[in-house]
Structure 1
């Protein structure tokens, strides 16, 4: 209802001539209706919706015109002139009240329309500025990612190179969130399913080198706050990175599956692989500690799920959501 009022008040108005003609037709129609069906209350009351409609749709001048025209026709003022008789005190009072209400409604509607138009313009300008800010932020982050990537390529120390590649992946997670936020059209919200698919594709291209490793994403569409989406993306990034690092040694290939689904108490983010499994030392790694920290910050918990082959980690997050049909893709 609020959006409908804003849309009506902020829309471009029809030509003034159209407004005068429509108002005249509506006033005459109400008068004809009253002639056939005499109103139970006062004759002026049926004209008030017409006055309000004219003021909202066509503007203050036509609202005032409709008020005066209704005042002349509504209670037989023209008949008083033709019959050469003066209206009684009660008739004068109702006439004055009707004109006062009609004029007030026309002025207030015009003021409300002016305020709504200014609000709409300000919102559009703010949205444009935020879009530009998100776009520039994303470009800056991608530039940082590219610089770190070039630096990683020049490193001969495998540990230093791995650290830089991890930094590149984390920066890309945040950059991708900014891009999704810019395209979402929702203030401060990111659609996580498409976000995870983009991250999965990017991680596959960044990490797998020449190894035949696929990253698949199965996720239910879910819109969350941008900060929450970044945390989910970072968690997925660390878990997928660990899978590439430990599950597929010596050029081995396989599949890493990212799953996001609704649960009774929130959502579950799961990352599983069909590799050789994770070594015990992974519990003490920087990536694992980061996953624990991010999940704890969201009020969730991390679980390592025993599987017959490979490795699986579930992250339970208390984020309420609906559970529409899931879609899947591979990278």
Structure 2
């Protein structure tokens, strides 16, 4: 029905005289059909004219609908109501039937016009909505392009800075200063890798990334950059959640620090082992865990390294509104390992 109303928009644009001539022909055809089927027999003189009023109201406008109703009543009285051949009406029942027919026919004409107006407005609103959606899609595409360009430039800048620090480290004679510059260079390169993964795994037009692809990509980068040929397996078990890019960066940095610490200290003397990264949602919180099956922490021995990676991880966890703690993965064993767990609000 809606399609019929929309198709009738063309016929409503016809010249006025064409619409009224067509209306007259439709009403006359209905009269001829009435005479052909029932002849001049009394009873239901107005029944066959209702389709004419509906068809005219559907195809044209309110004026032609009113004209069809009045013409139908006039022809019915002249040809079908006693006495035929005149506009007089002898029976009160026929007069009442005429009044009811005109009331219903005129009401139908006005209802059809109201439907035309409502559907025309609906079509205009749909067109406006389609235009607005197209504009929003263009804006989202443009925003995504700008976001990708910004991430790409930031990654290039970070890579140049890391390369500069690496070159500077090669020129420094003091071992501690050289090591500090190398660590800074590696952390900047890690941030550059994270930026690359942000651009690769973000949702189109939105500043969010999918956690599973993001963490699996980071793990692949760490395998290539840090694990290399060492007999250490690095696995990721991550649920897929949309994470804002602003929160994905510290998550990626924490993973880089904790996995890096495990690779540095948990498996001495080319020991084989396993490091796993887990990410899941627990109620209103996200839980990130990095676990290894290495030698673990010995409280009786002094801590290895400067502890800077641990401090960075705790500071980043605080930025996310959470905390981080470490426990033995399998206490009491020869290789107790270490499990870092960070919990922070999901929103």
Find the aligned partners of 1:158 and 1:277 in 2 and give their Cα distance: 27
Distance 1:165 1:255, change over 3 A: farther
Find the aligned partners of 1:254 and 1:121 in 2 and give their Cα distance: 51
1:69 partnered with 2:91:
no
Aligned length: 266
Pick aligned residue for 1:301 from 318, 323, 335: 323
1:314 partnered with 2:333:
no
Once the two structures are superposed, what CA deviation does each residue of 1:259-305 show, in whole Å capped at 9, x if it has no partner?
Answer: 21436353433333343334543597221111111222223222221
Matches within 5 A, 1:100-111: 100-111=117-128
Structure 2 equivalent of residue 147 of structure 1: 164
Structure 2 equivalent of residue 123 of structure 1: 140
TM-score for the superposition, normalised by structure 2: 0.60
8 Å Cα contact 1:243/1:256 also seen in 2: no
Find the aligned partners of 2:276 and 2:178 in 1 and give their Cα distance: 25
Structure 1 equivalent of residue 34 of structure 2: none
Q: Specify the SS of the correspondent of 1:318.
A: strand
Find the aligned partners of 1:165 and 1:197 in 2 and give their Cα distance: 25
Pick aligned residue for 2:7 from 19, 23, 40: 23
Structure 2 equivalent of residue 206 of structure 1: 225
Structure 1 equivalent of residue 273 of structure 2: 255
Shift, 1:257, TM fit:
0.8
Unpaired stretches in structure 1, ≥5 consecutive residues: 1-18, 28-41, 48-65, 322-331
Structure 2 equivalent of residue 112 of structure 1: 129
Pick aligned residue for 1:289 from 304, 311, 319: 311
8 Å Cα contact 1:192/1:221 also seen in 2: yes
Matches within 5 A, 1:214-253: 214-249=233-268, 251-253=269-271
8 Å Cα contact 1:270/1:312 also seen in 2: no
Structure 2 equivalent of residue 132 of structure 1: 149
Shift, 1:312, TM fit:
0.9
Q: Alpha carbon RMSD of aligned pairs, Å?
A: 4.2
TM-score for the superposition, normalised by structure 1: 0.63
* Higher RCO structure (Cα 8 Å, ≥6 apart): 1
Find the aligned partners of 2:109 and 2:8 in 1 and give their Cα distance: 23
Shift, 1:162, TM fit:
3.1
Distance 1:281 1:70, change over 3 A: farther
Find the aligned partners of 2:241 and 2:173 in 1 and give their Cα distance: 42
Find the aligned partners of 1:302 and 1:202 in 2 and give their Cα distance: 24
Find the aligned partners of 1:21 and 1:104 in 2 and give their Cα distance: 12
Find the aligned partners of 2:183 and 2:343 in 1 and give their Cα distance: 24
Find the aligned partners of 1:67 and 1:281 in 2 and give their Cα distance: 90
When Rg is computed on C-alpha atoms for both structures, the one with the higher figure is: 2
8 Å Cα contact 1:262/1:268 also seen in 2: yes
Shift, 1:107, TM fit:
3.7
Shift, 1:84, TM fit:
6.5
Q: Specify the SS of the correspondent of 1:281.
A: coil
Find the aligned partners of 2:57 and 2:157 in 1 and give their Cα distance: 59
Once the two structures are superposed, what CA deviation does each residue of 1:220-263 show, in whole Å capped at 9, x if it has no partner?
Answer: 333312122211211122222222332344x4333341321436
Distance 1:253 1:200, change over 3 A: farther
8 Å Cα contact 2:230/2:270 also seen in 1: yes
Pick aligned residue for 1:195 from 187, 210, 214: 214
1:268 partnered with 2:294:
no
